Amino acid sequence: MDKLVSLAKRRGFVFQSSEIYGGLGSVWDYGPLGVELKKNIKERWWRSMVHERHDIEGLDAAILMHPKVWEASGHVSGFTDPLVDCKQCKNRFRADDPRIKGTPGQPDAQCPGCGSKGTLTAPRQFNLMFKTFMGPVEEQAAVIYLRPETAQGIYVNYLNVLQSSRQKIPFGIAQIGKAFRNEITPGNFIFRTREFEQMEMQFFVKPGSENEWFENWRAERMKWVEGLGIRREKLRWHQHGKDELAHYAKDAYDIQYEFPFGWQEFEGIHNRTDFDLSNHQKHAGKKLEYLDPKTNERFIPYVVETSAGADRTTLVVLCDAYREEEVKGDEASEGGDTRVVLKLKPSLAPLKAAVFPLVNKDGMPELAHKIHDDLRRYFNVFYDDGGSIGRRYRRQDEAGTPFGVTIDGQSTQDQTVTVRDRDTLKQDRVSATKLVDYLTQKLAG
Ligand code: ATP
């Protein structure tokens, strides 16, 4: 994991937030390559959810919502972790922290921070929502929350979307947006952060049909995840036991990935029943029923949710792509006999190709600039003329760039270039005029 974190910084994928001030706990910034990678993942999700389906609409709800939303949703009372404080060192721990020996609140309990005995308090519930104040007065009545999930913005807009889009149940609403959780045991790079992005879709169905839709969405989501190019043996399902289920869920499955720190969830499929809509109907005093135009039945829809973290999915993609390899042949003599390479699916890669003049003379830079200008109209491409060609290839391997386009002596004679494949290291000679078609074909999928 340390190697991936340092590669992410070196190549401009992810930086620690406010690094010059010593960083801010579990908050990260995406650099030039990271923002492209995450955007490609989000766009792929949006395309598959919204553009390629007739029964799902998009939404972008605000982060700030009426505070009653979070009472109705159960987050004010139920979105908590049990925590214990050490009276000696003042550190705070999750009550289920495996490093705690003994029972917190009892004299035998030992603090995992300072080692003192009998200094840990009995567990208290700690709410994970960030609070702030709306307006000029910092008083209880002005408290609002940064949303801890994007789903509630969908529920409170479900009738607006239904009516304006003229959808009929079953139908879904999809949204990508920021969420905030004051996590107590954050960590593992961008796995668990306090500010993150979710890609959530709520599918509204007739009560009684939710189990079928639940299975349908489980299959769809696994297909989508596999489409990211993730190795199948690194993926598995985990069904929530009774004690793991969130306060709103009747059934839940996580898609887990085998991270370097173990199997962990990065997406959940939840049967949320009519929990949220019924509670909003009650708290807001507004009818949220659906009138079935065919049968004239009125009902509150059930909801099947697919909830993925954009950052965690990015981490899955990065972890799965990271390889250290031995190199043989010409490339070994040019760039060294080992390499670090991100074997990203080409369509997800931040840069699709890099353009290299072999040397900075003999007409090569001019032709290389022209080819770079032509390509950038279609793809995100990079120009690099610094250092040996071997070193330039290696930098792009670390960036996950699938193709290296080199302009050499022959290029200025016959307008052909070599295209090096990141994974096979094989080189094709391609006519410059056919380069866009060649890359388009290779980048599909
Ligand atoms: P965990 O148990 O790991 O905290 P969760 O079960 O609380 O996750 P959900 O509420 O189901 O997670 O959120 C759905 C998705 O949102 C998760 O699968 C994950 O990808 C993402 N997510 C949740 N919390 C965080 C976080 N603190 N940092 C990054 N991503 C997160």
Model confidence pLDDT, tens digit, residues 162-184: 999 999 999 999 999 999 999 88
253 in contact with ligand 1, CB cutoff 6 A: no
pLDDT exceeds 90 at position 248: no
Q: Which amino acid is at 128?
A: L
* pLDDT for 141: 87
The answer to whether the CB of 314 is under 6 A from ligand 1 is no
Return the residue whose CA atom lies nearest to atom 11 of ligand 1. Answer: 268
How are beta strands 235-239 and 290-291 bridged, if at all? unpaired
Residue 307 beta carbon below 6 angstroms from any ligand 1 atom? yes
**Ligand 1 contact via 311 beta carbon (within 6 Å):** yes
Mean pLDDT, rounded, of the chain: 95
> Tokens standing for 319?
């972890």
**What is the rounded average pLDDT of the residues 110-130?**
94
Q: Which atom of ligand 1 is nearest to the CA of 192?
A: 28
pLDDT at 246: 82
| Higher-confidence position of 333 and 37 | 37
pLDDT confidence of residue 249: 84
Looking at the chain, the whole-number percentage of residues with pLDDT higher than 90 is 89
Average pLDDT of 243-258?
90
User: Is the per-residue pLDDT at 413 higher than 80?
Assistant: yes
**pLDDT at residue number 94:** 86
The dihedral built from the CA positions of residue 154, 160, 164 and 169, taken in this order, carries a sign that is positive
- Ramachandran angles phi, psi of 400, nearest 5°: 80, 15
Q: How is the chain split among helix, strand and coil, in percent rounded to 5?
A: 35, 30, 35
Ligand 1 centroid–CA 1 distance in Å is 19
Instruction: Look at residues 312, 304, 294 and name the one whose alpha carbon lies nearest to residue 274.
Output: 304
Does residue 315 carry a pLDDT above 80? yes
Q: Is the CB of 198 under 6 A from ligand 1?
A: yes
Expressed in angstroms and rounded, the spacing between residue 113 Cα and the centre of ligand 1 is 26
Give the atom of ligand 1 at the shortest distance from the alpha carbon of 190. Answer: 29
- Cα(243) to centroid(ligand 1), Å: 17
Find the 191 Cα to ligand 1 centroid distance in Å.
Answer: 9
312 lines ligand 1 (CB under 6 A): yes
Q: Is the CB of 119 under 6 A from ligand 1?
A: no
Confidence bin at 98 (pLDDT 50/70/90): confident
This prediction's pTM: 0.94
- Amino acid (one-letter) located at 82: P
Q: Is 220 in the pocket of ligand 1 (CB under 6 A)?
A: no
CA of 98 to the centre of ligand 1 (A): 20
Pocket test residue of 96, 192, 259, 264 for ligand 1, highest count of atoms within 8 A of CB:
192
pLDDT of 304 = 98
Q: Give the confidence band of 279 by pLDDT, cuts at 50, 70, 90.
A: very high
Residue 105 to residue 122: CA distance in whole angstroms: 4
Ligand 1, atom 1: closest residue by C-alpha = 265
**Diameter of the chain by CA atoms?**
84
Q: Closest Cα partner for 407 from 369, 442, 443?
A: 369
The atom number, within ligand 1, closest to the CA of 309 reads: 20
pLDDT score for 244: 85
Q: How far away, in angstroms, is 209 Cα from ligand 1 center?
A: 26
Position in ligand 1 atom list of the atom nearest CA 198: 16
The answer on pLDDT for 445 being more than 90 is no
Report which ligand 1 atom has the smallest distance to the Cα of 193: 28
| Cβ 252 under 6 angstroms from ligand 1 | no
User: Which residue puts its alpha carbon closest to atom 3 of ligand 1?
Assistant: 265
pLDDT of residue 186: 64
pLDDT reading at 318 higher than 70: yes
pLDDT over 90 (residue 335)? no
Q: H or E segment at 162?
A: helix 158-165
pLDDT at 289 over 70: yes
SS3 category, 440: helix
Q: How confident is the model at residue 334 (pLDDT cuts 50, 70, 90)?
A: confident
Q: Give how far the C-alpha of residue 70 lies from the chain's centroid of Cα atoms, to the nearest Å.
A: 24
Is pLDDT above 90 for 372? yes
Q: What are phi and psi of 365, to 5 degrees?
A: -60, -40
